[in-house]
Structure 1
Amino acid sequence: MSNLFTIFDPSTNIMNLSLNWLSMIICMIIYPLNYWLLPSRLNIMINLIINTLHKEFKILMGNNYFNGSTFMFISLFIFILINNFLGLFPYIFTATSHLMLNLSLALPLWLSFMLWGWINNTHHMFIHLVPQNTPSMLMSFMVLIETISNLIRPGTLAVRLMANMIAGHLLITLLSNMNLNVSTSLIPIISLVMIMLLTLEMAVSIIQAYVFSILSTLYFKEVI
């Protein structure tokens, strides 16, 4: 169990220093220089994604939208997406498959939302603890349920992302190990299944980054 989150990680120890986490800054190295200087197809594509996410997050926030608040969640989406995609390449560390990184993203966000909400919108936060039209006999029970569901939110965000990334890597690893023990005639079939699974993992990488950022936006909406 102690190696649950490291069984798929490449070994990058140099002078007893673990350099795995440096994979999170690879995205800054692989960007071409013309992305920063002149408009390019990469620039147009990223701007299209940013504008689409900005409009969607703005709709989710509704009338309580603050100028510039959507860029926090857009940055979160792009960061998770890049790390998810990097993990699909061979011998590259997958940072988002570790609970430590996911909790480092989810817990500060949730805690800051809660502190801001309870300090500035205390009455609004108390209202959320009791759903509308709740019978008087069930009010105390509903407050307990809503409190527990609120407290486990950062954990569910982190575990959801971690579990989805580990599950895909586990299936790909198991199928790749089967190539060593099967007949030659089955290798093309297994390779085709692995290609399909890799395509599915690319979709999962996008979906999980989107789900993480959307849920964070919804949690933010509840406190403003």
Structure 2
Amino acid sequence: MMTNLFSVFDPSSSIFNLSLNWLSTFIGLLLIPMTFWFMPSRHQIMWNKVLITLHKEFKTLLGETSHNGSTFIFVSLFSLILFNNFMGLFPYIFTSTSHLTLTLSLALPLWLSFMVYGWINHTQHMFAHLVPQGTPAVLMPFMVCIETISNVIRPGTLAVRLAANMIAGHLLLTLLGNTGPSLGYLIVSFLIMAQIALLVLESAVAIIQSYVFAVLSTLYSSEVN
């Protein structure tokens, strides 16, 4: 019986037809209260340095005209995506960021809120963005169409980029892992080395993709100010 190649990524465990796999997204919340009761560990000190570095970088991207505390939402977004990307590298844990259900739920409201805020408060600035400086008068209608389309597909590109990058490495790991039982000992040893290398690569991808998602969201936000 043939099965869909992507069926291994589908939510499987459920109670009363309610999927329990998405609960993996909120496992990190169980770890937060512990930090209020213990002395700062090396892990917590390192994570605080990462958050401070991200805050400074996002503050630079947003510019001086940004509201105070506006970087917190992007730092939180980075933390949420990073945690879910890493959780997906563990066996039998559902990778929620490999599904468009989650990635679109993050990208679409962010982009929509930026657009509504920009068009209400900075209407002339938003109209000016539709025509790049120095565009000939003949090409202006075409540039407006191109800029409008590129603006509208932004949440889709954000969501698809994250989901596609997360599912691609996991799919390769799954395919290589399924071929293991039918191979000889020598080839299996090479296969294990390849799996370890892919796992290291996926760990880097988990960090990079969460950073890219947060930085692009910050850049889209900076354009409406």
Per the TM superposition, whether the score is higher than 0.5 is yes
Shift of 1:25: 1.1
> For 1:211 and 1:80, how far apart are their aligned partners in 2?
11
Q: Partner amino acid for 1:214?
A: V
Q: 1:98 to 1:91 in 2, by over 3 A?
A: same
Q: Partner amino acid for 1:183?
A: G
Deviations 1:101-143 (A, max 9, x none): 1000000000000000000000000000000100000001000
* DSSP 3-state at the match of 1:90: coil
Q: Does 1:23 align with 2:24?
A: yes
Q: 1:124 to 1:52 in 2, by over 3 A?
A: same
Q: Runs of 5+ in structure 1 lacking a partner?
A: none
Q: Partner amino acid for 2:221?
A: F
Shift of 1:198: 0.3
> For 1:32 and 1:62, how far apart are their aligned partners in 2?
33
The share of aligned pairs that are identical, in percent, is: 64
> For 1:10 and 1:123, how far apart are their aligned partners in 2?
46
Q: 1:120 to 1:4 in 2, by over 3 A?
A: farther
Partner of 2:66: 65
* DSSP 3-state at the match of 1:79: helix
Partner of 1:211: 212
Partner of 1:133: 134
* Conserved? CA contact 1:5–1:97, under 8 Å: no
Kindly report structure 1 stretches of 4+ aligned residues shifted beyond 6 Å: none
Q: Partner amino acid for 1:74?
A: V
* Conserved? CA contact 1:76–1:213, under 8 Å: yes
Shift of 1:212: 0.1
* Conserved? CA contact 1:83–1:94, under 8 Å: yes
Deviations 1:40-72 (A, max 9, x none): 222211210110000100111122221100000
> For 2:5 and 2:125, how far apart are their aligned partners in 1?
41
Q: Does 1:157 align with 2:161?
A: no
> For 2:66 and 2:22, how far apart are their aligned partners in 1?
34
Partner of 1:99: 100
> For 1:83 and 1:24, how far apart are their aligned partners in 2?
6
Deviations 1:70-113 (A, max 9, x none): 00000000000000000000000110000011000000000000
Q: Partner amino acid for 2:136?
A: P
Partner of 1:87: 88
Question: Normalising by the residue count of structure 1, what TM-score does the alignment of the two structures yield?
Answer: 0.94
Q: Partner amino acid for 1:103?
A: L
Question: Normalising by the residue count of structure 2, what TM-score does the alignment of the two structures yield?
Answer: 0.94
Shift of 1:4: 7.2
Partner of 1:36: 36
* DSSP 3-state at the match of 1:64: coil
Shift of 1:36: 1.6
Higher deviation after alignment, 60-69 or 97-106: 60-69
> For 1:4 and 1:179, how far apart are their aligned partners in 2?
17
> For 2:107 and 2:100, how far apart are their aligned partners in 1?
10
Q: Partner amino acid for 2:170?
A: H
Higher deviation after alignment, 57-66 or 88-97: 57-66
> For 1:220 and 1:99, how far apart are their aligned partners in 2?
22
> For 1:5 and 1:45, how far apart are their aligned partners in 2?
36
* DSSP 3-state at the match of 2:150: helix
* Conserved? CA contact 1:161–1:208, under 8 Å: yes
Q: How does 1:176-215 map to 2 (within 5 A)?
A: 176-215=177-216
Q: Partner amino acid for 2:18?
A: L
* DSSP 3-state at the match of 1:47: helix
Q: Partner amino acid for 1:83?
A: N
Higher deviation after alignment, 7-16 or 134-143: 7-16
Q: Partner amino acid for 2:79?
A: I
* DSSP 3-state at the match of 1:68: coil
Count residues with an aligned counterpart: 222
